[in-house]
Each structure stands twice: as structure tokens, then as C-alpha cells.
Amino acid sequence: MLVVSPFEVLSIFLMSILAGLVGAVFGLGGGILIIPFLTLVEGVPVPYAVGASIVSVVATSSASAATYVQDRLTNLRLGMFLEVGTVLGAITGAFVAAFLAPRILLVLFGILLIYASTIMIVGRRVDFPSGVVPDRISRRLRLGGEYFDPATGATSRYEVTNTLRTLSISGISGIVSGLLGIGGGIIGVPTMNLLSKVPVKVASATSNFMIGVTAAASASVYFVRGDVQPLLVAPLMVGVVVGAAVGTRLLRRTPPLRVKLLFAILLVTVSVAMILKGFFPQIVL
């Protein structure tokens, strides 16, 4: 059983508020802040940090997804279609994680963040591409939709394309979710935006809807393995719910380009810290 002091519980709770806010805005679940904080600052073993993070992702999704669905930002048809890949991937990733060294997981985490930040910077101005032609599967499943953006005051119609490729990558994002405890949105959001041509706000909202189911699929594996510690999970879940409630309001009012730039800067900063810790575990960041 992991021993956590009252001060550590308080610091974890305060950090989780920020993690919940970031997770709700970017559709990530908050794991990109939770895991670095627990491992780099609190010194929590990686398996326990991943287990706590994956459970908190479920809480973040539960707190924010309902609001986005009510605001009609979430593309429910697309989210349910992509869940086929993410759930299978999440269960696979959770099992594989038991066979990898913690240092490898840290480095993988950092590399993944660099990848996500790079493609978000490259495609930062691709929010609402014109002339998108839906593929056959998208037309048959009616995956396109429309949404109202309070930041611009306009209602826009969009189409979805490259559905099979997006489904395949969703399987990879599920593996990443189960492996690293981050919800999978770190791959899912840029993939939906840049490959499927879904507006970034819709991608973030749809990801928030998806990550709860994805995380729940892999959380059960961590729970059975004994990697879910109540003293870590309890303050995290309370904090991320509070933060997510604030984050849902921010996303509705934030311009899409600013969302992408803030997202990329955040990922680059965290990725450097995680890679350094993976290669040099003795350093204190």
C-alpha cells in the first residue's frame, strides 16, 4: 500500500484541478499533467501513477462530456464509431504495460508528446478546411454534423473523411491510453482534426466523450493488478471534476487557433521533462 502524507494529498488535489481544466479544454483527460506531477514531483512509482491517472480520466470525461453533448459540440456518431478501435487498443495497452520498465514508459510518454505537439503546430491553422468530401463510410453512417461556436457566433456544417484510417489510428490511441494512462486524446484530437477534417473544438469535445469509455476499459486491468491506490485516486477524482467544470466553459469561448497553440506549448514543455527523467532517473525536475 502506498503511503501518502496529508500535504501530498492536498498538493495532488490542487494539481488535479489544473489537470481537469486542461483535460476538458483539450480533450485529453488530464493525464499529461497528472503523470508528470506524480512521477517527477511526488516520486510516485510509474505503475501507480498510471493507474491513478487512468481512473481520473474517467472522472474528467464524466464531468465534461455531458456539457459538450448538451452544447452539441460532440459528434456522437463519430465517437461511437471510433470507440471500436480505442477500447480494443486500451485493453491491449493495459496488459502490455506490465511488461515494460518504468523508464521506457517515461521516454515513450515524452516522445508521444513531441509527436502530438509537432502535428498540432504544423496544422495549427487547419481548423475548418473547405471542400471536404465525405468518404463512402462517412456518408453511410452520416458522420458529418454541425456545431455552434460561441467564440465566433456562427453555426458551421462540416464533413468527415478518411474514416477507416482514423479508426486504425484510434486503435493506436487506445493502446497509448492503456499503456500510459493518458486517455488517448493526445492522438485522437489531432487525428480527428488533421486527418478526418473535424473542427478542433468538435474533436476536443468528441474526445472527451470517448476517453471515459476508453479509460474504463483499461482501468479494470490496473485495478485487478493492484496499481490503483485509493489515497492517490480520491483527491485526483475530486480535483479533476472541479477543473473539468471550468474547462468546459473555457473551450466554448476560446478561439480555435489559440487552443491549438496553447496545447502545443504545454506538450513540448512536459515532453522534455519526461524524456530527461526517463534517461536520467536520478535528476530532480
Domain-embedded: residue 285: no
Domain-embedded: residue 183: yes
Domain-embedded: residue 42: yes
Q: How far apart are CA 165 and CA 39, in angstroms?
A: 34
Domain-embedded: residue 65: yes
pLDDT for the residue numbered 80: 92
Domain-embedded: residue 1: no
Task: Please state the domain count of the chain.
Answer: 1
Domain that holds residue 151: 6-279
Residue type, 65: A
pLDDT in tens, the chain (285 residues): 676 777 888 888 888 888 888 777 766 667 777 888 888 788 888 888 888 888 888 887 777 777 788 888 899 999 999 999 998 998 898 888 878 777 787 787 778 777 767 766 666 555 556 678 899 999 999 999 888 776 667 788 899 999 999 999 899 888 888 887 777 777 888 888 888 888 888 888 898 888 888 888 888 888 888 888 888 888 888 888 888 878 777 766 666 566 667 667 777 777 777 677 677 666 544
Domain-embedded: residue 232: yes
Alpha-carbon separation of residue 156 from 96, 135, 148, 190 (angstroms): 41, 19, 6, 19
Q: How far is CA 34 from the centre of its chain?
A: 11
- 23 with 29: CB under 8 angstroms? yes
Domain-embedded: residue 284: no
Alpha-carbon separation of residue 184 from 21, 156, 206 (angstroms): 17, 27, 12
Q: How far apart are CA 4 and CA 25, in angstroms?
A: 29
Q: Shortest CA distance to 32 belongs to which of 283, 280, 262, 282?
A: 262
